[in-house]
Chains A and B, each alone.
Chain A
Amino acid sequence: MKLRELVKKFNLEVKCAADRLDRKIEGGYVSDLLSDVIANGRAGDAWVTLQVHQNIVGVASLKDLAAIIIINGRQPEENTIEKAENEGIPIMVSKMSAFELVAGLCSAGISGTR
């Protein structure tokens, strides 16, 4: 599935890097500990988190993640959006909780294992 389809299907609010939505999602990962994402995230993952700090962009960039999805309608900090725009990392906001969103992603065929 491409990011663009994901945005539509889950009614995500795209906060930045809207020109990068043609990337294919290879899998998914959910964690709020950035050290854990550095250890276990994989290239092409859609990363589901509640963290809004600018370091999420650094981690996504380091691990070549496809996108960051922030849950519970939490809004990323301004410098986070700015940084993500510069680095070309799409950040999307979902109104759903992590539990609901991940369940939806799994039903849509996005897997946590490869």
Chain B
Amino acid sequence: MLGWLRGDLHIHTCLSPCADSTMLPMAIVKEAKRNNLQMIGICDHNSIENVEAVKKAGEREGLAVMGGVEIASQEEVHILGFFDEETSLWDIQDVLYENLSGENDEDVFGKQLLADEYDRVIGSNKRLLIGATRLPVEGIVHLIHRLGGLAIASHVDRESFSIISQLGFIPGGLTLDALEISSLASREKRYALSQRYNFPLLTFSDAHSLKSIGRSFSSFLIEEPRFEEVKRALMGDKGRRVSIE
């Protein structure tokens, strides 16, 4: 049976240098539940290394967690990739690290903490996760799809790191599964995007701190909070759909 479920699928953890160090797996899951979300997604910059811990915390607390990553293309366009299979997450991770140079400077960009499902910090990532990969945007979307994932352009209304700010417009033939608009997008902006582009629109919080979780979310008319159901909702399969109202 279909029912409306609330999902905030773009949340950063303490692994993203720009996110608060309080963005730990359990803390995120608890805050999401407090905000009546039935589903969250974890998308750190160019890394999936905290996904598993948040998934485990979610399992324990009864909250669905989608594994994802926010990839920076060579044009500095941000693309969200979501995957059902853990192997796909590690596969994309390999490609991203092969195409990402530099070392993080904690004092400049912030810490990149690895945590377990009990919010214990177990290490840190030394790569320059805030950097851009050498992968073109088309290649990223193609790679996500080849690994069975969903490709969503991040915060397309924003003036930085969005496909529209960087490339002027969405290239024809780019098979995105949806566009994400930020929590700040006006009604007029939403309407203009929906008129211009034939992609489903979603909105998520892009939370970098606990208090931002759920400040913006999308509703999914689906059977249960699972990757496959979200995918079918984006395709409008058998009554499933999404809403940002």
Contacts and interface: CB of A to CB of B under 8 A. Distances in A.
Please indicate whether A and B come from the same complex rather than being unrelated chains: yes
Interface of A: 32-35, 37-38, 51, 53-55, 58-59, 77
B171 A54 contact: yes
Contacts of B84: none
B164 interface: yes
A33 B165 contact: yes
Nearest to B159: A35
B136 A55 contact: no
A7 B169 CA distance: 29
Given A51-B75, A53-B136, A59 B171 contact: no
Nearest to A79: B138
A53 B137 CA distance: 9
B148 to A, nearest CB: 25
A32 to B, nearest CB: 8
A101 to B, nearest CB: 20
A59 B169 CA distance: 9
Nearest to A38: B168
Where chain B touches its partner, the secondary structure class is loop
Contacts of B168: 34-35, 37-38, 55, 58-59
Given A35-B167, A37-B168, 14 more contacts: A34-B165, A34-B166, A35-B165, A35-B166, A51-B166, A53-B75, A53-B137, A53-B167, A53-B171, A54-B171, A55-B167, A58-B168, A58-B171, A59-B168
Interface of B: 75, 136-137, 159, 164-169, 171
29 contacts: A32-B166, A33-B165, A33-B166, A34-B165, A34-B166, A34-B167, A34-B168, A34-B169, A35-B164, A35-B165, A35-B166, A35-B167, A37-B168, A38-B168, A51-B75, A51-B166, A51-B167, A53-B75, A53-B136, A53-B137, A53-B167, A54-B171, A55-B167, A55-B168, A55-B169, A58-B168, A58-B169, A59-B168, A77-B136
Nearest to B75: A53
Among A32, A34, A51, A53, max chain B CB count under 10 A is at: A53
Contacts of B137: 53
A58 B165 CA distance: 14
B165 A55 contact: no
A55 B216 CA distance: 30
Contacts of A53: 75, 136-137, 167, 171
Contacts of B75: 51, 53
Chain A CB within 10 A, most for which of B136, B137, B168, B171? B168
A102 B168 CA distance: 22
Nearest to A63: B168
Contacts of B167: 34-35, 51, 53, 55
A53 B169 CA distance: 12
A62 B109 CA distance: 37
